[in-house]
Chain A
Amino acid sequence: MRTIKAEEISRAVAKLCIDANYNLGEDIVNEYKLAYQRENSDVAKEILQQLSKNAEIAKEDQVPICQDTGMAVIFLELGQDLRVVEGDLYQAINQGVSAGYTEGYLRKSVVNDPLIQRKNTEDNTPAVIHTEIVPGDQLKITVAPKGFGSENMSQLKMLRPTDGVEGLKTFVLKVVKEAGPNPCPPIVVGIGIGGTVEKAALLAKKSLLRPLGVYNDDEKFKNLEQELLEEVNRLDIGPQGLGGLTTALAVNIETYPTHIAGLPVVVNINCHVARHKEVVL
């Protein structure tokens, strides 16, 4: 059985936290430029130009793109033939987050107790970790720092099975409209459909990891993604909520089978700084 040292995992996570916060994905940067060309309004154009410039500065100066460097959401795909040695897996992940956020001068935004004490943990731990056991002997780590301007605008709805596609569309458009300028549009809309409450939420979050230009494998859902993107962009919320054609950069849907009585839907919104970096160890 292949082994991996916990320390190696920590180092990889630290690096990914910094990389994700400094270097915006090329897919997003390119989409800012395409959106700039599509927009008619001066304000929208100017904002998109500023976003491009901001991403350039962040990359060049190696500083965070956004001051909200997020809560570290980490997806693990752990091969069943890989064994972690010389340490505990989750401890290693959190040590990596602590090191990355400290050494990278990233903002520490996590509080220990969500309701009463709300004391900053000073190193952005703990991370939110999702683990999937998969075949093979490798470990894939994806770090997606999630800002809360957009996280706060996310919603859950248990639709009726008979609400169907129209019910889903109505809900998604309502969520985006209610969010308005708050989640830093242009946004990425992540939609999880099916499963149970927590499964739908996880699917929605996971859909945000998809690079722009990659659609759902199923043609039906790919079409729905594209229809919804068009409809969202007709809302005229626009960059920063000041009007325009670019309210969203993408609408991503992930689905899972569900119960005869249910149609769970979670809409998880990401801001225009749609960050995620991955590595395979």
Chain B
Amino acid sequence: MAKVSLTTPVTEEQIRSLEAGDKVLLSGVVYTARDAAHKRLVEALDEGEELPFAVEGNAIYYVGPCPAKPGEVIGSAGPTTSYRMDPFAPRLIKEGLRIMIGKGERNDEVIDAMKAQGAVYLGAIGGAAALISKCIKEAEVIAYDDLGTEAVRRLLVEDLPVICVIDSQGNNLYRRD
């Protein structure tokens, strides 16, 4: 278990070097998307349309934040449960997505795609949303504004504390036996 600082965008090599159990401080741009946005992203790919952001080498954070209070960048912003994105994640991983941030289990299809393409699943602490929001320095809605909290946001994060839960070899901290 190592302590690693990582800045997006990332290379396959950087991702392949991460191991389950590593504590990662993540900085740079991450994009938010959850259920409804994932459905639209994959529908856009099916239609041959361009995605609202470049997936290649990037990170998606599964979060629907609270509204920002006046003068704040964003409201509380902890991870949502990831399995709901499982039907869509392999497709995005094939497009070059390298990092997913959430909480809770992933299915075998997602893990197989991670192994094949070189991607990791990072766990943020579910429910520690006030704490996590302190690491978010900029936030801007870039797509699907009509989805409200579920819109796609471009976040700039600084030292977001996460744990590598599933690495690109398929090692999984949730499956310890």
Q: Are A182 and B83 in contact (CB under 8 A)?
A: yes
Q: 10 smallest A-B Cβ distances: which pairs?
A: A182-B104, A184-B126, A54-B128, A54-B131, A58-B130, A64-B76, A67-B129, A57-B130, A67-B76, A107-B66
Contacts known (A64-B76, A107-B67); A242 close to B127, Cβ less than 8 A? no
Q: Are B78 and A63 in contact (CB under 8 A)?
A: no
For B77, the closest partner residue in chain A by CB is: A67
**Which residues of A59-107 are within 8 A (CB) of B?**
61, 63-69, 105-107
For the complex, give the distance between the alpha carbons of A242 and B81 in Å: 15
How many B residues, CB 8 Å from partner?
38
Contacts known (A57-B134, A242-B173); A67 close to B128, Cβ less than 8 A? no
For the complex, give the distance between the alpha carbons of A259 and B81 in Å: 37
Q: Select one of B80, B147, B174 contacting A68, CB under 8 A.
A: B80
A154 in the interface (beta carbon within 8 A): no
For the complex, give the distance between the alpha carbons of A236 and B175 in Å: 11
Q: Please report the number of residue pairs spanning A and B whose Cβ atoms sit closer than 8 angstroms.
A: 124
Contacts of A109 in B (CB 8 A): 64, 149
Stretch at the interface among A5-13, A45-53, A200-208: A45-53
Q: Are A105 and B127 in contact (CB under 8 A)?
A: no
Q: Are A67 and B78 in contact (CB under 8 A)?
A: yes
Q: Select one of A51, A57, A63 contacting B127, CB under 8 A.
A: A51
Q: Which residues does A use to contact B, with CB under 8 Å?
A: 43, 47, 50-51, 53-54, 57-58, 61, 63-69, 105-109, 118, 120, 122, 149, 152, 180-184, 236, 240-243, 271-273
Known contacts A66-B76, A120-B147; 5 further A-B pairs (Cβ under 8 A): A54-B125, A68-B80, A109-B64, A120-B150, A181-B174
For A64, the closest partner residue in chain B by CB is: B76
For the complex, give the distance between the alpha carbons of A169 and B148 in Å: 41
Q: Are B81 and A107 in contact (CB under 8 A)?
A: no
Q: Quote the shortest CB–CB distance from A256 to chain B (angstroms).
A: 31
Q: Quote the shortest CB–CB distance from A103 to chain B (angstroms).
A: 11
15 contacts between A and B (CB under 8 A): A43-B163, A47-B125, A54-B125, A54-B128, A54-B130, A57-B134, A65-B129, A66-B127, A67-B63, A105-B67, A107-B67, A182-B105, A184-B103, A240-B103, A273-B127
Contacts known (A105-B75, A149-B81, A242-B163); A63 close to B130, Cβ less than 8 A? yes
Q: Are A122 and B65 in contact (CB under 8 A)?
A: no
**Which residues of B118-177 are within 8 A (CB) of A?**
123, 125-131, 133-134, 147-150, 161, 163, 165, 173-174, 176
Q: Are A67 and B64 in contact (CB under 8 A)?
A: yes
Q: Quote the shortest CB–CB distance from B75 to chain A (angstroms).
A: 6
Q: Quote the shortest CB–CB distance from B86 to chain A (angstroms).
A: 12
Q: Select one of B69, B129, B174 contacting A180, CB under 8 A.
A: B174
Chain B 84-127 per-residue mask, 1 if CB under 8 angstroms from chain A, else 0: 00000000000000000001110000000000000000010111
Q: Are A152 and B81 in contact (CB under 8 A)?
A: yes
Contacts of A152 in B (CB 8 A): 81
Q: Are B125 and A181 in contact (CB under 8 A)?
A: no
Q: Quote the shortest CB–CB distance from B132 to chain A (angstroms).
A: 8
B68 in the interface (beta carbon within 8 A): yes
Q: Quote the shortest CB–CB distance from B49 to chain A (angstroms).
A: 22
Q: Quote the shortest CB–CB distance from B161 to chain A (angstroms).
A: 8
Q: Are A240 and B126 in contact (CB under 8 A)?
A: yes
Q: Are A241 and B148 in contact (CB under 8 A)?
A: no
For the complex, give the distance between the alpha carbons of A58 and B84 in Å: 27
Q: Are A107 and B134 in contact (CB under 8 A)?
A: no
